[in-house]
């Protein structure tokens, strides 16, 4: 369960980036849609404490992101649009092992990392350069490193935007099969329609929260009419 109560975000100059949002997200799949610069990414970063609300609160499974941030981040994994932003180690094996450090015995890190890579079809690339992987493989590695820790919630900020159709389909299927709750910002409106709930964000306001088809239709209508910024 993710609970936002009057969660608001201001920029340093006082501009409102996210206007007060109150919502309780319990659905297994939640999609967030909106134009570039609408506030989607800012809203998503509130969900695991990467960004704290200027006012109001955000709680995940009862824990407040402002006062219990480390525990929240253990429960909530975050995947960025560009996997290069979160691949930290030279090889896939080392990158996944870094995520596992402290969760398994040190000597078991390598074996556990290889098992995770096997699950994501990356075992053959375990000791190659992580930054030499294809865009799709890098996104899989980013997902693997996050999911290796077993988060109860996965937040994804446009995870398929940089991928071609083949890799986009692959990642979409992988996310659909996860047991964790998944909250995804996306420009893929077909994927948004398959969600259990859709939030439409416009200029920092949540202008729709509920039925996926109604939300996507509203977004398309407003985009067509030039009403989304």
- Give the residue with greater pLDDT, 112 vs 107: 112
**E strands of the chain, at which residues?**
2-10, 16-25, 29-33, 55-60, 63-64, 76-79, 153-157, 181-185, 197-202, 205-210
Q: Kindly state the average pLDDT of the residues 208-223.
A: 94
CA-CA-CA-CA torsion sign (40, 95, 152, 61): negative
Domain count, the chain: 1
142, 151, 154 from 97: Cα distances, Å: 12, 16, 19
Burial per residue of 117-145, b for 16 or more beta-carbon CB atoms within 10 angstroms, e otherwise: beebebbebbeeebeebeebbbbbbbbbb
Structural domain harbouring 196:
2-224
Q: Is the pLDDT of residue 103 over 70?
A: no
Q: Is the pLDDT of residue 162 over 50?
A: yes
pLDDT bucket at 229, cuts 50 / 70 / 90:
low
Q: Is there a domain that residue 229 lies in?
A: no
What is the predicted pLDDT for the residue at 224? 85
Q: What are 50-64's pLDDT values in tens digits?
A: 999 999 999 999 999
pLDDT bucket at 104, cuts 50 / 70 / 90:
very low
Q: What are 168-184's pLDDT values in tens digits?
A: 888 888 888 889 999 99
Paired tokens of 130: 């992580």
pTM, full prediction? 0.90
Pairing outcome for strands 181-185 and 29-33: parallel
- 8 Å CB contact between 112 and 100: yes
Residue 95 host element (H or E): helix 92-100
Give the whole-angstrom CA distance, residue 47 versus residue 78: 9
What is the predicted pLDDT for the residue at 78? 95
Any idea what the CATH number is for the domain that residue 159 is in?
3.40.50.300
> Of the ranges 13-27, 40-54, 95-109, which one carries the lowest mean pLDDT score?
95-109
Give the whole-angstrom CA distance, residue 191 versus residue 207: 19
Q: Is there a domain that residue 206 lies in?
A: yes
Q: Is the pLDDT of residue 107 over 90?
A: no
Q: What is the mean pLDDT of the chain?
A: 91
Give the whole-angstrom CA distance, residue 226 versus residue 62: 39
């Amino acid at each position: 369960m993710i609970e936002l109560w009057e969660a608001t975000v201001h920029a340093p100059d006082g501009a409102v980036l996210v206007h007060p949002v109150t919502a309780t997200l319990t659905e297994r799949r939640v999609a967030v849609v909106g134009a570039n610069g609408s506030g989607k990414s800012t809203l998503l970063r509130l969900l695991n404490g990467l960004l704290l609300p200027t006012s109001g609160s955000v709680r995940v499974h009862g824990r407040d992101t402002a006062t219990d941030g480390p525990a929240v981040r253990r429960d909530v994994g975050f995947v960025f649009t560009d996997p290069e932003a979160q691949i930290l180690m030279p090889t896939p094996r080392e990158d996944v092992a870094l995520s596992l450090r402290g969760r398994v015995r040190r000597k078991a890190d390598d074996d556990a990392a290889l098992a995770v890579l096997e699950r994501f079809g990356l075992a053959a690339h375990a000791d190659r350069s992580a930054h030499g992987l294809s865009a799709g493989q890098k996104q899989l590695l980013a997902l693997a490193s996050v999911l290796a820790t077993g988060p109860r919630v996965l937040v994804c900020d446009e995870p398929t935007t940089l991928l071609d159709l083949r890799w986009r389909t692959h990642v979409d299927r992988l996310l659909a099969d996860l047991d964790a709750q998944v909250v995804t910002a996306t420009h893929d409106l077909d994927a948004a329609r398959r969600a259990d709930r859709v939030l439409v964000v416009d200029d920092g306001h949540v202008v729709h929260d509920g039925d996926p088809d109604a939300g996507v239709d509203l977004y398309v209508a407003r985009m067509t009419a030039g009403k989304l910024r």
